[in-house]
């Protein structure tokens, strides 16, 4: 599993709901973060090989969110993988920091050989329910449609239901709430299972200790909260390794549950053995 860094974006305390501002400041301070939040929260994407295919989970922000993000393609090349070699892109949800990197600045497919996979529920919402959207959500609908245009035009866009395997060996997991079709991906290897999530947590510093804290951008705050609680429970029971789009780069580790509190334990860097 290789984490490919797309950049960093601000996750602001003022966008967090469900706790008093004082409590949120306190939780941030415990993580040595300023009261404003984490202004340089990572945007991670995940690359791996399975069943002879090269798979990318999420595509970064592309040109949607300014120069702090959108570095996936250069970092992918630095990791020795040309974008043409990617066979499948699994998208966790259609927010721009996860999907707009599917297209170049000119609107071409950034991954010309790839099929893009997305939950049917997210596709239904972001591609078909645009008329009722306002403000930032209207902009997200436009970005979502643009990101998928070249793939849909070439028949390289595919949707799935939760529990299905969009790529053999990779099972989609229901994490809806943050968006109507927000998905995780469960990957098996070396006797362990790794759950990759998109926006189940924006600020692990706050939301691991206060998982009821929801974000402004959540489509459905109670749903997002319920999904986070449910998946944390499942991770605790099953001992899954976790990879998160906004966990600190490289964003892979475990969660230690002790005395009712959860703590992030990043996987240590280890030398890469080249085959």
Binding site for Zn ion (CB under 5 A): 97, 199
Closer residue to Zn ion, CB minimum distance, 156 or 185: 185
Comparing CB distances to Zn ion, the nearer of 156 and 182 is 182
Half-sphere exposure of 183 (CA within 13 A, CB side): 30
CB 124 → Zn ion: shortest distance, Å? 20
B/e letters for 204-231, b = 16+ CB within 10 Å, e = fewer, are: bbbbbbebebbbebbbbbebbbebbeeb
CA distance 205 to 255: 12
Nearest distance in Å: CB 93, Zn ion: 8
Tell me how far, at minimum, the Cβ of 229 lies from Zn ion, in Å.
19
Name the minimum Å distance from CB 184 to Zn ion.
Answer: 13
The least distance separating Zn ion from the CB of residue 245, rounded to whole angstroms, comes to 5
The Cα–Cα gap between 205 and 192 comes to: 25
Q: How far apart are CA 40 and CA 106, in angstroms?
A: 27
Q: Which is nearer to Zn ion, 91 or 156 (CB)?
A: 91
**Is residue 36 within 8 Å of residue 63, measured between CB atoms?**
no
Return the number of the residue (156 or 246) whose C-beta is nearest Zn ion: 246
Of 5 and 156, nearer to Zn ion (C-beta) is 5
Closest approach of Cβ 119 to Zn ion, in Å? 15
Q: With respect to Zn ion, which residue has the nearer C-beta, 60 or 156?
A: 60
């Amino acid at each position: 599993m290789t984490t490919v860094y797309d950049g960093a974006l601000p996750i602001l305390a003022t966008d967090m709901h469900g706790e008093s501002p004082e409590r949120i400041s306190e939780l941030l301070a415990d993580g040595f973060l300023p009261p404003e939040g984490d202004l340089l929260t990572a945007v991670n994407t995940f690359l791996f090989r399975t069943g002879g295919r090269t798979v990318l989970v999420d595509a970064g922000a592309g040109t949607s969110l300014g120069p702090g993000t959108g570095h996936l393609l250069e970092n992918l090349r630095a990791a020795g993988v040309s974008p043409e070699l990617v066979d499948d892109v699994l998208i966790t949800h259609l927010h721009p920091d996860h999907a707009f990197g599917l297209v170049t600045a000119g609107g071409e497919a950034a991954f010309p050989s790839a099929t893009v996979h997305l939950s049917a529920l997210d596709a239904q919402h972001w591609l078909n329910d645009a008329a009722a959207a306002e403000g930032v959500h209207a902009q997200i609908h436009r970005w979502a449609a643009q990101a998928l245009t070249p793939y849909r035009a070439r028949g390289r866009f595919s949707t799935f239901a939760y529990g299905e395997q969009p790529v053999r060996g990779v099972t989609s997991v229901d994490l809806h709430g943050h968006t109507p079709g927000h998905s995780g991906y469960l990957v098996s290897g070396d006797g362990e299972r790794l759950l990759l999530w998109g926006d189940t947590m924006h600020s692990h510093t706050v939301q691991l200790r206060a998982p009821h804290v929801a974000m402004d951008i959540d489509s459905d705050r109670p749903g997002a909260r319920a999904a986070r609680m449910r998946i944390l429970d499942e991770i605790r029971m099953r001992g899954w390794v976790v990879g998160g789009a906004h966990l600190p780069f490289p964003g892979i580790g475990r969660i230690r549950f002790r005395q009712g509190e959860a703590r992030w334990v990043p996987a240590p860097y280890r030398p890469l053995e080249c085959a």
